[in-house]
């Protein structure tokens, strides 16, 4: 290979240091807590598309090597090699941290999916229909219904999806690709609204979720689903509401907001993505307050500081899923990321310990690299693992007949694994 001129070598070194520095400045947020909300949003994207930054670091490093032999005598070239190598190693953390979990789950990662991004073709083949499931104070509470496609046999089970947003934001169908995917697996999906204001809204939000459960049961025949084969799936604040509604069915202290009280609120299973579960503990042990003021968020949701009065403290307990666990609590799948900066992953372990003590069938899926909201990337490593776990869990726990105790014990032995 002909030797590069000094000018060309210098240009390559400048490009190399620029590319490797950008790569390092980006991937560092995979492992370092974000200093504010905007950087946190960026860190979620970087963690989910980290291999693109691997490529960026690699290109910079290769440019330094091409500039050899002047690199060895040039501080800029040496710096780019070091920075590029560090960035490359950090960028591989999401992949290598999930490989053991993928092996346990029997998941083979698809790099084609990973690099494909969002497949917009699905939006052209799968639609939803919006229904009003309740009217309260002149406000329509609605749900988007995703039915199985013609090519997919309706399996008779359904999933009610509850969106996140700190209990005061967000909207239904904010993760539509997951709904389309579930419909393609044969599940009918009901992605619901609930009241976000005025706060404190812990009673109304929980009651609205229970109202949606009743509506689905009352209209089950219309959608060709069984009223006895309903699961809940929620994210963040929506996961909290899903757990609370599922665990407190028929609890008069957390009533449904529907007038009809004859239809039951019980469900067969619940899937939780990164939920706060013990609200008193979460208030005193917030995550990254540079990203979100967790105590203030909880105080708005529940109407005050739990340390100011016994009455408010009781609200925090009442609104905590951990306070409602009993023998007949529905089977639960808990999914959480090790880098979650909005809801500490100890929430998952605290709930899992209580479920284990109560002998409730459950599974935990801990994804070490993952941030809060990691599943926004439907094709990411964390999402590919989660999809396999969710599908297995739903198939196991929305069967036409409830498993007996022997089957339940065997399913838990086969399906559960220790929290990492």
Quote the pLDDT of residue 78.
Answer: 84
Q: Which residues of the chain have pLDDT under 50?
A: 1, 71, 120-124, 405-407, 410-420
Quote the pLDDT of residue 151.
Answer: 64
Nearest one of 140, 362, 141, 346 to 243, comparing CA atoms = 362
pTM, full prediction: 0.92
How many residues in total does the chain contain?
420
Instruction: Please give the full DSSP string across 182-201, using - where no structure is assigned.
Output: HHHTT-EEEEE-----SSP-
Quote the pLDDT of residue 9.
Answer: 75
Residue 326, burial from CB neighbour count under 10 angstroms (0-12, 13-18, 19+):
exposed
**Distance of alpha carbon 252 from alpha carbon 307, whole angstroms:** 25
Quote the pLDDT of residue 413.
Answer: 47
The structural architecture, per CATH, of the domain 116-415 is: 3-Layer(aba) Sandwich (3.40)
User: Which residue ranges make up each domain of the chain?
Assistant: 6-91, 116-415
**CB-based contact 154:147 (threshold 8 Å):** yes
Quote the pLDDT of residue 185.
Answer: 94
Quote the pLDDT of residue 12.
Answer: 82
Which residues have CB under 8 Å from 307's CB, separation 6+? 313
CA distance readout (Å), 83 to 17, 42, 78, 94, 247: 8, 20, 9, 19, 50
């Amino acid at each position: 290979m002909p030797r590069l001129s000094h000018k060309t070598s210098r240009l390559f070194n400048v490009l190399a240091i620029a590319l490797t520095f950008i790569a390092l400045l980006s991937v560092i947020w995979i492992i370092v807590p974000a200093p504010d909300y905007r950087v946190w949003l960026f860190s979620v994207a970087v963690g989910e598309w980290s291999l693109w930054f691997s490529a960026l670091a690699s290109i910079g490093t290769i440019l330094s090597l091409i500039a050899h032999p002047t690199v060895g005598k040039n501080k800029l070239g040496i710096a780019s090699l070091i920075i590029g190598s560090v960035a490359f190693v950090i960028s591989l953390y999401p992949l290598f941290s999930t490989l053991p979990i993928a092996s346990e789950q029997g998941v083979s990662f698809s790099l084609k999916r990973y690099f494909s991004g969002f497949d917009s073709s699905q939006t052209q083949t799968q639609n939803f229909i919006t229904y009003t499931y309740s009217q309260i104070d002149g406000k329509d509470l609605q749900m988007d219904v995703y039915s199985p496609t013609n090519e997919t046999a309706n399996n008779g089970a359904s999933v009610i999806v509850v969106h996140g947003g700190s209990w005061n934001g967000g909207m239904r169908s904010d993760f539509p690709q997951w709904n389309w995917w579930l419909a393609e697996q044969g599940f009918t999906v009901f992605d619901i609204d609930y009241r976000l204001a005025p706060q404190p809204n812990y009673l109304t939000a929980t009651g609205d979720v229970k109202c949606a459960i009743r509506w689905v049961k009352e209209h089950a025949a219309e959608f060709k689903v069984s009223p006895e084969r309903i699961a809940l799936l929620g994210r963040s604040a929506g996961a909290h509401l899903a757990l609370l509604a599922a665990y407190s069915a028929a609890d008069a202290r957390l009533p449904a907001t529907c007038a009809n009280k004859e239809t039951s609120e019980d469900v067969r299973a619940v899937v939780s993505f990164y939920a706060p579960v013990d609200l008193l503990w979460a208030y005193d042990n917030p995550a990254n307050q540079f990203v979100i003021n967790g105590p203030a968020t909880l105080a708005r949701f529940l109407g005050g500081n739990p340390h100011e009065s016994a009455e408010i403290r009781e609200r925090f307990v009442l609104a905590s899923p951990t306070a409602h666990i009993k023998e007949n609590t529905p089977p639960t799948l808990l999914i959480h990321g090790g880098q979650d900066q909005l809801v500490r992953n100890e929430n998952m372990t605290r709930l899992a310990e209580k479920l284990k003590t109560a002998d409730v069938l459950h599974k935990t899926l801990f994804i070490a690299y993952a941030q809060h909201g990691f599943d926004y990337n439907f094709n990411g490593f964390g999402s590919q693992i989660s999809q396999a776990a969710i599908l297995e869990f739903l198939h196991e726990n929305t069967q036409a007949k409830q498993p007996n105790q022997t089957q339940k014990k065997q399913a838990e032995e086969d399906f559960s694994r220790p929290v990492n």
